[in-house]
Amino acid sequence: MPPADLLKDFFNALPESAQGGADVSRVYVNRSPDDEHDPVANLKQYIQWEPRTGGCYLFSGLRGAGKTTELNRLVTELREDGIAAYYCDASTYLNLNDPQLSLAELLMTALAGLADAVRQELGQGKLNDSIWQRTKRLFQSKVELKPKLIAPLGDTGASLEVEATLQDNPDFRKELISFAQSSSAFFDEAAKFADEVAATIRRHTQCEKIVLVVDSLERISAPSGDEAKLFNSLKEVFFNEPTRLQFASLFVVYSAPPYLHAVLPGVSNGFSQSVALPNFKVIQRDGSRNEDGICRMREIVGRRFPQWPEILDETVMNHLAWMSGGNVRRFFNLLRTLARKAALSRVGLPITAVDAPSVIHALAEAAQPLQWLTGPDREWLKRFMDNGDNPSGHIKDLAADLPPIIRLFDHSLVLDYQNGSPWYQVPPLVRPYV
């Protein structure tokens, strides 16, 4: 194959982000040494062993750590074990750039996602009513919902027919929030709808246990600098009233931003279980390289593009895995950028030196956003570099310390790992800029 075509295929084999609802078994690589330390294996066991329905679980992980891939794996394995499992991508229904998330919006999103997934699987006629129409009738809304739209489903070209979204119907969203603040009727109606959908699923699948996975909530951000609003809304939803996130007739797994555990250490107490997904451990706690973690990162690429040794040798691949800190999205971005630079400069393949121009340029491009780091950002990065423990013990003023902590986690400039207990470190790519 001509080098340009080889580099193009390599570029396209490494997605910018994982797609929800996809079967990842063909390309999956486990980051854990055994099932005992595997977050998904633990979560699946919690659900399988729970004698009653109604379990509510928190699944946290940094952007780019591979959380969507792991949740896809959870759905696939639960289905293989005879459990009816469904996936909901919250970004389909919510504006994740709005820092003010309400409990009513999250429940509406979860139930709309469940109903749309069930219709996709069982057929449009299996659910005679929808959470949208029931809620409209409940508070007698005169708002006309925008028509159905088609949302992508996985990376197979399939799509999901969605009845409506909150981001496309802002007037309805305002009415929903206002009504839920003044009355508990919406929450009662949501519980009834969940029971009816669960009964429909059981009738058609003969599955006793039903699981809904609500993904992408870790992407809720405060792009305009409203970190305080973001924190308060997440605290209200996940910390103050977690019992309202439960449904008696099904299990629900909610994804969550990883900094919740860092700034609200007690957030797990309101859930049946809470699991955190660490990054691939390419770095030891003492700062040295972990060759096993780097080997697993190579395997991720090998599953998606076995011909990668024709492009770069193992030394270069190991170097980029190390510089990424074990964050899959950053690792893929480095490799994609290297492929572009190599194609433009028409270098000979394979690339064998870690100081080759294409490698240097890829690392430099990945580091460009680090120029916006503020003084407080750098101070917190130093704390994480010097002491990888939970940052909650170092917070002196929540109003001052919260914005940099959220920014650093949101942009994966601080990564989490696990050796028994969670710990944090700054990826090698970022360290020179601190």
Verify that 323 and 204 share a domain, yes or no.
no
Q: How far is CA 358 from CA 45, 242, 363, 433, in A?
A: 45, 49, 9, 20
**pLDDT tens-digit map of 297-352:** 999 999 999 999 999 999 999 999 999 999 999 999 999 999 999 999 999 999 99
Token pair listed for 359: 């490698």
Q: How far is CA 28 from CA 31, 79, 186, 276, in A?
A: 10, 17, 40, 18
Answer yes or no: is 29 within a domain. no
Verify that 257 and 323 share a domain, yes or no.
no
Binned at pLDDT 50, 70 and 90, residue 154 comes out as low
Answer yes or no: is 329 within a domain. yes
pLDDT at 155: 52
Verify that 5 and 53 share a domain, yes or no.
no
pLDDT surpassing 90 at residue 126:
no
Verify that 375 and 246 share a domain, yes or no.
no
Residue at a domain's end among 277, 309, 326: 277
Query: Domain span at residue 175?
Result: 35-277
- Could you give the count of Cα atoms lying within 13 Å of 192 in the half-sphere of its Cβ? 12
Verify that 218 and 116 share a domain, yes or no.
yes
> What is the pLDDT averaged over residues 196-223?
95
Quick one: what percent of the chain has pLDDT higher than 90?
A: 75
d(CA 34, CA 38): 6
pLDDT at 261: 81
Answer yes or no: is 243 within a domain. yes
Answer yes or no: is 45 within a domain. yes
> What is the pLDDT averaged over residues 117-129?
89
Answer yes or no: is 27 within a domain. no
Verify that 244 and 166 share a domain, yes or no.
yes
Answer yes or no: is 26 within a domain. no
Verify that 228 and 311 share a domain, yes or no.
no
Phi and psi at residue 57, to the nearest 5°:
-125, 145
pLDDT surpassing 70 at residue 388:
yes
Give the residue carrying structure tokens 């950028």: 337
Give the residue from 313, 309, 361, 355 showing the smallest Cα distance to 338: 361
**How big is the CA angle at 271 (ends 265 and 272), to the nearest 5 degrees?**
130
**pLDDT tens-digit map of 61-86:** 888 999 999 999 999 999 999 999 99
Are 116 and 161 in contact by the 8 Å Cβ rule? The answer is: yes
Answer yes or no: is 24 within a domain. no
pLDDT at 222: 87
More confident residue, 224 or 138: 138
Mean pLDDT of the chain: 92
Beta bridge partners of 31: none
Verify that 228 and 125 share a domain, yes or no.
yes
H helical segments located in 34-66? 39-49
Binned at pLDDT 50, 70 and 90, residue 236 comes out as very high
Q: What is the CATH number of the domain that holds 81?
A: 3.40.50
In 96-164, beta strands by DSSP E? 149-153, 158-162
Question: Which of 19-33, 140-154, 412-426 is predicted with the least confidence, judged by mean pLDDT?
Answer: 140-154
Residue at a domain's end among 232, 262, 277: 277
Question: Could you give the 3-state DSSP secondary structure of residue 433?
Answer: helix
Question: What is the domain count for the chain?
Answer: 2
